[in-house]
Structure 1
Amino acid sequence: MSLSSACRRAVTVTAGVTALTLGLALPALAHVSINPGTAEQGGFTKVAFRVPNERDNASTNKIEVSLSTDHPLPFVSVRPVPGWDVKVVESTLPKPVTTEYGEMTKAVTKITWSGGKIEPHQFQEFEVSMGMLPKDTDTLVFPTVQSYTGGEVVKWADPPKADGSEAEHPAPTLKLTPASADGDGHGAASADPSAAPSTPAAQAAPSVTPVAAAQASSSDGTARLLGGAGLLAGIVGVVAGVLGLRRGGRTS
């Protein structure tokens, strides 16, 4: 075999291996995911369901995300996505769940986005704020259904494998970590106040808005200014009186 033939064969083998590797890797990169993938137990968090369209000849036009009924979330809200309609479904739980806010008999069980399009080789993120995150589990799984304009439906619903390897159609999974000592599970909400819905405790707690604080500061400054002016006027009056007495004494 000549050197040139050997080189050509080596290039062909390398190209084949590369194509095979990419072919195996691409499906893993194309699944629906949740970002960020971790949050603290007992707190609030804002996540984005990232939906890529790996098809060449169809657009994604519907996304359905299911929420756990074993670990229901008391507070769920969604951020509007331009061009998409969103429907949040609340259902009766199979059995009541006790939380720090009382017994839950209903909870959000599904969120559906429709009416928009994710064109081929593009992706879209759908943001959701949720809490209080459960403290009795280390994962929340969100089975997701992705529909295409051509009629294809892909179910991303496989739970995480015990051996750590990735499933064929993995469901978006949020890993929950113990709350930090300083944050007590509320770190995500503190980092992004606009993402966290108001809680009964937050509604009851008094607060001073920046405008009120500015008004209070302005009123305090005005009072000090008026008080200083009054003191100065008093001093001037005393001095004038003393000078008047002196002049009167000299005249007499």
Structure 2
Amino acid sequence: MNTSIRRALGTTALTTAALLAASGVASAHVSVNAPSAAQGGYTVLEFRVPTESETASTTAVTVELPGLASARTEPIPGWTATTEKDGGDLVTSVTWTANPGAGVPPGEFQRFVVSAGPLPAQDEVEFPATQTYSDGSVVDWNEATPASGEEPEHPSPTLELAAGSDDTVASAVAAPSSSDSDTTARWLGGIGLVLGALGAALGIGATVRSRRS
């Protein structure tokens, strides 16, 4: 009886250790979290970046974005954030760089937060990331999950999006870039000036005619 119990306990312990080890490996990956994210909406994206190296610190992180109209980073003491845009003025990536003496040491992780949107009208979106270490090594987190379902060594951070309302999704798809908005505003402003000048001229003419009569 005692022997059977000891064997059962030993098997349970090994199984638990294996599960913990597996979860530890999975949790060490760069990941993205945003429970309220929906298609066509705005949300707060939280990227969790652990340092897997045993000897070097994480000194820079770049996350690719799917061309978003807005992306605002949350300040992190000791880090500087910069954004890149495409020709249409949409944000395509965010890079966080540690200031001298800062970084994420071995055995620790850091949250990098972005308020962004509108999110694309699709079921899920990938955010490929690049992690740079103090020893110069670089890890690309950009591998897609194969059809077999087995997790790759460096999976791309992926976020599932809830279905958005028809109006929200439509507005996200049709939302013009800021440059388009600026151009439209200039045209409207110019038209307004022309109409104003025309109205003033007509008013002056009417005044002159009334005086002559």
Q: Give the TM-score normalised by the residue count of structure 2.
A: 0.65
1:114 aligned to which of 66, 79, 97? 97
Give, in whole Å, the separation in 2 of the partners of 1:51 and 1:122.
9
Maintained 8 Å contact 2:36/2:43: no
Q: Distance in 2 between matches of 1:38 and 1:155?
A: 27
Structure 1 residue 21, shift from structure 2 partner: 4.5
One-letter code aligned to 1:114: T
Superposed CA deviations along residues 47-98 of structure 1, whole A, max 9, x for unmatched, are 1111112333221111011122xxx211122122111011111123xxxxxx
Residue in structure 1 matching 2:128, options 143, 166, 188 = 143
In structure 2, the CA distance between the partners of 1:7 and 1:60, relative to structure 1 (3 Å rule), is same
Q: 1:39 to 1:9 in 2, by over 3 A?
A: closer
After superposing on structure 2, the runs of 4+ consecutive aligned residues of structure 1 that deviate more than 3 Å are 6-25, 160-165
Query: Secondary structure, in 3 states, of the residue corresponding to 2:26?
Result: helix
Q: Pick closer, same or farther for the CA change 1:11–1:34 going to 2, 3 Å.
A: same
Write the distance in 1 (CA, Å) between the matches of 2:8 and 2:126. 45
Q: Which amino acid aligns with 1:129?
A: S
**Which structure 2 segments of 5+ residues have no match?**
170-180, 182-213
1:98-128 CA distance string (max 9 Å, x none): xxxxxxx342122111123112222111111
- In 2, Cα distance between equivalents of 1:21 and 1:152: 29
| Whole-Å separation in 1 of the counterparts to 2:90 and 2:74 | 18
Matching residue of 2:68 = 73
Helix, strand or coil for the counterpart of 1:118? coil
Equivalent position amino acid for 1:121 in 2: G
Higher alpha-carbon Rg: 1
Residue 31 (structure 1) shift:
0.6
TM-score w.r.t. length of structure 1: 0.56
Q: Any stretches of 5+ residues in structure 1 without a counterpart?
A: 93-104, 186-199, 201-252
How far apart, in 1, do the equivalents of 2:120 and 2:12 lie?
Answer: 49
1:172 aligns with 2:157: yes
Count the aligned residue pairs.
168
* Cα drift, residue 26 of structure 1: 2.2
Indicate which of 74, 81, 87 corresponds to 2:82: 87
Identity %: 40
- 1:169-208 map, 5 Å: 169-180=154-165, 184=168
Q: Sort the Cα spacing of 1:8 and 1:128 in 2 relative to 1 into closer, same or farther, 3 A.
A: same
